[in-house]
Amino acid sequence: MYPAAEKRFLRINKITIIVLFLVITAGGIVRSTGSGMGCPDWPKCFNRIIPPTDVSQLPQGYEQHYVEGRIKKNERFAKLIEAFGYSHLADQIHHDETIVEHEEFNAAKTWTEYINRLTGVLAGFCMLFTAIYSFTYWKKKKAIAIWSVLNLIVVVIQAWLGSIVVSTNLTPWVITIHMLLALVIVCIAIQTYYWAIKLRNNQFLKNTDRSFTWITLISLVILVVQVVFGTDVREIIDHLNQQGVQRSEWIDSIGLPYHTHRILAYVTLALVVFLYFKLRSSVLVNTVQFKYAKISLILVCIQMLSGIILARFHVPAVAQTVHLVVASLLVGAQYYLLLILNKPESGLTPKAV
């Protein structure tokens, strides 16, 4: 049995992983509904803890006030990325006039973005408690505590980056980094959960064929690259929308990034299907490894279906959210499958779960 302190850590870590996927879901809804600028300031919304529901509740002269605030923050951000050698990106921020464009108040978009921020706050508290409870492993496996604390720091960076997303008026490449960092946070949480489970029971680690691990690793790498191209596709769609291009013409106007994204999707599908049948015909057919291979297969099929709907039905908002969330779940499932496709470490005494 697990000691009470370890049970507490495992419970809060599992809740944290679930909440992180809820945050990604909320972010996907914000993205697909165009609600990212529903709150023009950060961390408050129109300088209120509870956002307004009607235009009459807005502060007088708020448009100019928030634009000036964004300009100052963007200048600091541009100097920061220029210091890291990305002068071309800094130059884009300096000369991007859309950053200072004001968006009209829309109560639905404001509250959509506000709920997204609330889920982010909830995730922050979950990760804070995860980091605190992780110190029960300090003598047994310091990596659990170190990475839990590090993940909390990454979440703080992610929150700051969220403020930059707002101040830059949804600059596409900033949104892409924001999305990828969210996946990193999820994977770190999964990693610490795996370490904690393995400390007490390593008998579920059964792998008689190293090719399983390599197939999963290759599939995961291709999936992440596919996600990067997917964010690129989304950036182009945003640009086409700003230019007034008809929704029915979006897919045909994207070009190479879309075709690359689609090809990688088929490669990912092929690898996941191949691994599923390979595991089903092995001694691992009744194991947790096969369970996650099955979960990955289901997710990749949903992912392909949502992609087809996006392409054939002119990028509907609901399908955009599903596509994003399922991609994130697939990354998580594939990463955990990669971890559990290992052999038990020699000398580690297994105990009953």
For the stretch 194-239, pLDDT in tens is 999 988 877 777 766 788 999 999 999 999 999 989 988 887 887 7
Domain closes at, from 176, 201, 226: 201
Q: What is the pTM of this model?
A: 0.86
264 and 233 in one domain? yes
- pLDDT at residue number 193: 96
152 and 106 in one domain? yes
236 and 149 in one domain? no
122 and 8 in one domain? yes
3-state SS of the chain is CCCHHHHHHHHHHHHHHHHHHHHHHHHHHHHHHCCCCCCCCCCCECCECCCCCCHHHCCCCHHHHHHHHHHHHHHHHHHHHHHCCCHHHHHHHHHCHHHHCCCCCCHHHHHHHHHHHHHHHHHHHHHHHHHHHHHHHCCCCHHHHHHHHHHHHHHHHHHHHHHHHHHCCCCHHHHHHHHHHHHHHHHHHHHHHHHHHHHHCCCCCCCCCHHHHHHHHHHHHHHHHHHHHHHHHHHHHHHHHHCCCCHHHHHHHHCHHHHHHHHHHHHHHHHHHHHHHHHHCCCCCCCHHHHHHHHHHHHHHHHHHHHHHHHHCCCCHHHHHHHHHHHHHHHHHHHHHHHHCCCCCCCCCCCCC
Count of structural domains, the chain: 2
101 and 11 in one domain? yes
Task: Tell whether 353 is covered by a domain.
Answer: no
- pLDDT at residue number 170: 59
Domain closes at, from 184, 201, 218: 201
286 and 256 in one domain? yes
149 and 3 in one domain? yes
Question: In which domain, by residue range, is 88 found?
Answer: 1-201
- pLDDT at residue number 207: 66
- pLDDT at residue number 171: 67
Task: Tell whether 64 is covered by a domain.
Answer: yes
Residue segments in the chain with a per-residue pLDDT below the cut of 70 = 1, 96-102, 166-172, 207-208, 344-353
